[in-house]
Amino acid sequence: MKFRVDRDVLAEAVTWTARTLPTRPPAPVLAGVRIEADLDGTLSLSSFDYEVSARSEIAADVSEAGTVLVSGRLLAEISRALPAKPVDVVVDGTKVVVTCGASRFTLLTMPVEDYPALPAMPDVSGTVGGDELTNAVAQVSVAASRDDTLPLLTGVRMEIDGENITLLATDRYRLALRELTWNPSSPSFSSVALVRARTLTDVAKSLGSSSTVNVALSTGAGVDLIGFEAGGRHTTSQLVDGDYPPVRRLFPDETPIHAVVPTGALIDAAKRVALVAERNTPIRLTFSDGQVVLDAGQGDDAQASEALEAVLVGEEISVAFNPQFLLDGLGALGTDFVRMGFTHPNKPVEFTGQGSLDGEATSSYRYLLVPIRFAG
């Protein structure tokens, strides 16, 4: 195998393909990136860990076709460090020689015949805007669990019904829901998929710069897969198996009490007050006519308090939240004002966005946060 390729093109492709490589691969070959050079000028790079696969195709000047498997992370580090000149790659027996300007590296190859076949990309089910996908996934994934002992809750549930997609995630303490539209391959397309939040976040960040992203779902016989493709880059992932809890019903039908606060001001105040909130201690929010008072700390500990203007509809109410969970939800809203809907001081609080102080709440994104009980 022998080819020449632009340094920046190679570095970007290798880095993207190697990004999902496991730190402790179940088999040594799974630490590798498979490189296949075709005489038609196509260079394909792929990685696979039995759950997530990635494949990137770039143009190269190929003089000898072939396939080779090398350490993905090492090749990524080398390609990023090379000078800004064309890169020549040649296979010499059991070694790969990478030359760029005055730089020369020799890498050992891995047995390519031991490398597993990548899963086939399912048929495209529809397309979604890259920016829309990126924003929606970022808003929902904040609520997904990081606890791998509860694999179901580390996923984001995708509910697809025609042109509508609903994303849901929960870690039992908060719940996020985002609705968006896409262009399905069939107007009657309907499916449900549970995708690992880490994978979905990575895909949204790495492919979201494209104007459109192809989404492919395979939920028939065999292994259930989801695939994403944009700009010559393909990613597939096995879906999480299991029955997701019926979390939609947790959202209240109505909230007799609600408050509206400027989002940015509330975020800044919460960050300041949280400085004295020790680990696992909450921030308290006390709503009264025309204001909300944030405070943290008590007794002989450090204390902080800050008052903000707020509009309150209904009776006065006090709630307490995990500071980080509160900030996660506020940061995900992306609106100038936040509307907080209450049913009871100890019941989950619904966060939605508003464009103005007296405007209507937007319904495409909803964040439900369980308050922390506090004395007094």
Q: What is the DSSP string of 157-210?
A: EEEEETTEEEEEEE-SSEEEEEEEE-EESSTT-EEEEEEEHHHHHHHHHHHTTS
Query: DSSP secondary structure string, 326-344?
Result: HHHHHHHH-SSEEEEEES-
* Residue 228 to residues 138, 216, 231, Cα–Cα distance (Å): 17, 6, 10
What's the pLDDT at 101? 94
Which pTM does this prediction carry? 0.91
Residue 306 burial (CB < 10 Å; 0-12/13-18/19+)?
middle
pLDDT of residue 222: 56
Angle formed at CA 135 by CA 16 and CA 197, multiple of 5 degrees: 60
Would you list the domain boundaries of the chain? 2-114, 124-248, 252-369
Query: Do the domains 2-114 and 124-248 sit in the same CATH topology, yes or no?
Result: yes
- pLDDT tens-digit series, residues 68-121: 999 999 999 999 999 999 999 999 999 999 999 999 999 999 999 999 999 999
Say how many CA atoms lie within 13 Å of 290 toward its Cβ.
0
- Check residue 317 and give its pLDDT: 95
- Residues of the chain under the 50 pLDDT cut: none
Helix (H) or strand (E) holding 207: helix 197-207
Number of other residues whose CB lies within 10 A of the CB of residue 249: 8
Please tell me the predicted confidence (pLDDT) of residue 221.
Answer: 55
Q: What pLDDT shows up at residue 375? A: 59
CATH superfamily for 252-369 is DNA Polymerase III, subunit A, domain 2 (3.10.150.10)
Tokens at residue 92, please?
Answer: 């010499």
Give CA–CA dist 107/95, Å, rounded. 6
Q: Is 188 helix (H, G, I), strand (E, B) or coil?
A: coil
**Which fold would CATH assign to domain 124-248?**
DNA Polymerase III; Chain A, domain 2 (3.10.150)
Which of the following CATH numbers is that of domain 2-114: 3.10.150.10, 3.90.550.10, 3.30.300.30, 3.90.1150.10?
3.10.150.10
The per-residue pLDDT for 280 is 74
d(CA 98, CA 77): 12
pLDDT the model gives residue 235: 95
Are 99 and 37 contacting, i.e. CB atoms less than 8 angstroms apart?
no
